Amino acid sequence: MEIIAQYSTLFYVMAFAFGLCVCWGMGANNVANAMGTSVGSGAITLRRALLLAAIMEFAGAYLAGGEVADTISREILVGKLFEPAPHLLLFGMIAALLAAGIWLTIASMCGWPVSATQSIVGAICGAGVAALGIGAVNWEMMAEIVVGWLIFPVLGGIVALALTLSIRKLIFNTENPIRQARRWGPLYAFLVGWIVALVTITAGLKHVNINLGGIEGQFLSLAIGVVLAIIAKVLMRRIHLEESEDRIFHFASVEKLFGPLMVFTGAAMAFAHGSNDVANGIGPMATAIQIIETQAVSSRSAVTPFMLLLGGMGIVVGVATYGYRLGLPSATRSPS
């Protein structure tokens, strides 16, 4: 206990610095996952993609990042075991942040896309085992996390397959693909806006003291989806194409019409990434700061709106300063 009080300022500096380093690494390393396809297809320039990604990453981190942060900060290690020695948990969280931050920095500088979540989860497990042995890890929660890593890519593939088949049936395998793309494109934009808004409103906003549940939240999500669909319809109307050309020309033209939709989906993915991965930086940081302030291990959430704000800013700095590096392979095909 005495060591926490004696060196509290140093621990504060390390917790904030290493947490922000992880957030910076996530912004630098993972922006290509969200905007790489949009840039590579020519739907948006690299500079605009980085700006849009920065805005959406920050919004996702601040508005919807608290739920996952609680999992990272409280449920990977068995907190009760650390109650007699809270300084061990403090050291473990700081060490995990440093380890993940170093790895993300190296990977970003080398242009390697890696998983920040796997990095921090592995680092926390390693720190827990080093502190109190294998029993310090909540293996049931770890099993849930690992199962999610295995299942969600499969579910993503299934959903992508279903959407692709629907596009093929509703648009490409018709007599007039251009006309059908203008008709059905706004529906896909609606789905993007509705789903992202629904998840944010029902699960994320409570961590920034905004409660919009029940019917009110459902209607607001639907309204956001409708607004996005209207915007998509307007943007697609501005793209002038000649429908009298042959079908081969139609197929190429549909790609142009899908440009705004690709930007929307890229922005949605950036929002989702910010909401999910900000926890990797601020979760351990929040736990460390809570221990410094109380000199005890608490079962309550240590994540505050200020920490979400700080994590979002760290991600934005990473996107702005180094995000282009992992986007370069796609950017070489983008318009100037």
CA 31, chain centre distance (Å): 9
pLDDT of residue 166 exceeding 80? yes
Q: What is the b/e burial string over 173-210, where b = at least 16 CB atoms within 10 angstroms of the residue's CB?
A: ebeebbebbbeebbebbbbbbbebbbbbbbebbebeee
**Residue 137 β-bridge partners:** 77
User: Which is more confident, 254 or 67?
Assistant: 254
- Per-residue pLDDT at 208: 62
User: Which is more confident, 11 or 333?
Assistant: 11
60 in Cβ contact with 136 (< 8 Å): no
In terms of Cβ atoms closer than 10 Å to its own Cβ (0-12, 13-18, 19+), residue 157 is: exposed
Highest mean pLDDT among 32-36, 68-72, 302-306: 302-306
pLDDT of residue 245 exceeding 60? no
pLDDT of residue 76 exceeding 50? yes
Rounded distance between C-alpha atoms, residue 273 and residue 193, angstroms? 15
Domain segments of the chain: what residues?
Answer: 2-331
Mean pLDDT, the chain, as a whole number? 84
- Per-residue pLDDT at 91: 94
Find the range with the poorest average confidence among 190-194, 243-247, 259-263, 295-299.
243-247
Of all residues in the chain, the percent with pLDDT exceeding 90 is 36
DSSP letter, residue 239: S
| pLDDT confidence band for 330 (50 / 70 / 90) | very low
| pLDDT confidence band for 332 (50 / 70 / 90) | very low
| pLDDT confidence band for 331 (50 / 70 / 90) | very low
Tokens of 33: 């996952």
DSSP letter, residue 111: T
**Residue 77 β-bridge partners:** 137
pLDDT of residue 68 exceeding 80? no
Ramachandran bin of 44, using left for φ above 0, alpha for ψ from -120 to 50, beta for the remaining angles: beta
pLDDT of residue 134 exceeding 90? yes
- Per-residue pLDDT at 307: 87
- Per-residue pLDDT at 333: 40
Tokens of 103: 């790895």
Rounded distance between C-alpha atoms, residue 326 and residue 36, angstroms? 8
